[in-house]
Structure 1
Amino acid sequence: MARKRGGFVFLTAGAIFGLASATARAGETIEPTVTTSIERHYTTNAMESDRPIADWYSLLRSTLFRKWGDNDAYISLNAEGRATRHDSVAIEDDTAGGVQVQAFRRFAGGLELRGTLAYNATRDGDHIDIGPFTIGTRTLKQVASGQVQVGLDLGNQMALIVDAMTSLEKVGLTRFEDDIFLPARLDPDKRNVQIALKLIRTVGQFTFGVQGSALRSAVERLGDPLVGVSFNQFGLRGEITYTGVGGATAALALGAELLDGADDTYSRIRPAWQLSVVKPLPKGFELRGTWYGRYEIADSDDPLASWVNRGEFEISYKLRENLKLASGVACEFKRNLLWENVERKRVFYAEATYDASAKASVVLRVDVNRIHKTVIDIDENTVDTFIGLRAKI
């Protein structure tokens, strides 16, 4: 199975290089764009736990984007990096970096082909609590992925999109603060294969679609009890999107998902939905809202997955051409499927963005998070305030 997945990555690479050679003949190059942001934060809970410790930290982000070709055939390169440095709680320092290469080609007859190769690496700083003691940890995680997307114009404002993706996640040894313990494997490796088919049709201001997807995640057996469980996930949903005048949009996706865990750990069909609305208002105001429910497999503390129900609302106001204010709230309900813990989260944020020039802006923001975890009965409360400078070169 691993050999087959590796073959898919090589097939993706071959498609990209083939498209890239065609793009190179086009001869058009777009100048590279570099974006950098520097932020200075103050947080009341640097460790994001029920034992809050206040600290200052700096966050540096940088991205590089370059494109060769035109709208009919191109290859693009996107690289990014991020680093966090705390003044006191150094065990929470993180670093991350990644690179993505994408190639696109539009052929005669309404056929489009896109291939993507990506690699990301993160070195996360975290901690574990043992009684009254807190021990810092650091773990390297690497993810390599390949994706091929085929689009076909069927005529009569209809299109078919086929998407195939594979990824391999390798997690290194976890190292402990001051080498108090020997390095150990705490997180499993994962291999994912996913395929999705989507049929869409546009009728005036409306776009209708139906999508089916299948995901297989093979998780390394590690620990007793297991810290990760393999699973299959299948989804089917219908979609409708309305695009109005002046930038107003509304989209609804409604369907169902089946999650089937290995070793008879879990198997259930649940409804899945997402409702999104964007509405510009007079005098520079704009409203945005999203409400969704689904299985969450990427951001979960559970060995298998979580069920998430989340609503978000934001209002923004353009005070001047170069000054924008925004504020929002969110409520989230997350239930772990195997551990049965329930996490309730409430979020509030306010942000001001000042465009000092065409290529530089200053951001001031405050985030307030309130989290309650039921089974272990703990509360995590955090207030994070920062000022940041963002520049484009």
Structure 2
Amino acid sequence: MLKVYEHEQVVCIEGILEETRSRVFLFLVDGTLIDTGAEKMQDDLKKELAKLSFDQVVLTHHHEDHTGNAAWIQQHYPVPFYIHPIGQEITDKDGVYPDYRQLTWGNRDAFRTQALGDRINSRTFEWEVIHTPGHADDHVALFHPESGRLFTGDLFVTPKSRVVMKGESISRIKTSLRKLLTLPFKSVFCSHAGYLENGRALLEEKLNYLESLQEKILQLYKDGETPSDIHLQLFPKTYPIVRFSNGEWDSLHIVTSTIADYDEKKNRHLRPRANVLGILRKGQSVLLEQQFARHSSGKGPFYRPIGGTIELGEPSAKTVEREFKEEIGADIKIVQYVDVIENIYTLKNQVFHEISLVYEVEFDQQALYDQDVFDVFEDGKMTKAKWVSLEELDQHDTVLYPTGLLDLLTKLPSPVANKL
């Protein structure tokens, strides 16, 4: 059964699957069809699509409840299909699913796609494409800055997740939620909850819930509890979907995902880490975060550019833009790729290996160059970033990381006049 209605000039096509009473949405906005729904909806969907006009299909991710009708639509409508590059190899082949998923959603035949970039144009709008992994590696959200409309796929679904699919990463879902919460969106269109007028509050509620839940899980884990014991303490109720899915959906996966991410970070020194650094200059000064912690040269304050770890499937230039937005709330532009720095160092008797891609960047808003100090938010902590002169960085008692960055900075040509 389908229900079709409109919110904020978006056609919402709500599919209600009879066998399980599950809901899934397609959205049509400005000639762009967002997702294709489940194969089980196909007979009803054929009639509705015949009444509508669309020029392209954009897929939030490869799961069959979002791509189940893609092959049929491609056979009958000469329009391009777009998906994140990670999803292309998956949708090139027929889907293979366990019985419960076939019963709920149906199957998915192979279809052809083009790779999404970080922008896509519809008939009259330009949309930002935001990579939001966690639920799926190829998951994206779509944002239209002028109207404030945000399409979140399966990132939200519910503010308090009690069960998740095996393979989901709670930590990456949190990172993706933080990424979206830096955007000035107003309303949210969710692929299973539909139109959410109070979408920002709901996304914030979900992020706060997951952060609190992970804190409880990790405290119990550090106290010596096993994942099974933690699961029983925090999720004493058994949900029907656990048995129905033969455990592919389970609250236990929330616990194991949290612990796996914690152990991975704890042991990250065991393999190299790829990250990015953004060099933002004003005259002979550079914007640097100041931290007060133990470091490879001892204790005390040290400086480091804004930057962070490159996420799976995320272009490094996009990582720089995301890190500035998440950490200091600023939009930037890439000026140029500068170089790569390989840094091997020892901290607390452990060897770390970082490979840093260095970009020169500039603020979108000229007024930010007049700001002296910036609050930096990362992993629930706040530090400060400020303009630091090359002269100060060259002082013997000033520590700048990574090693070799100062030499790189001194070789850069002077910034353009309006950044002096």
What TM-score bracket applies, with the shorter chain setting the length?
A: under 0.3
More helix by share: 2
More strand by share: 1
Q: What TM-score, normalized to structure 2?
A: 0.23
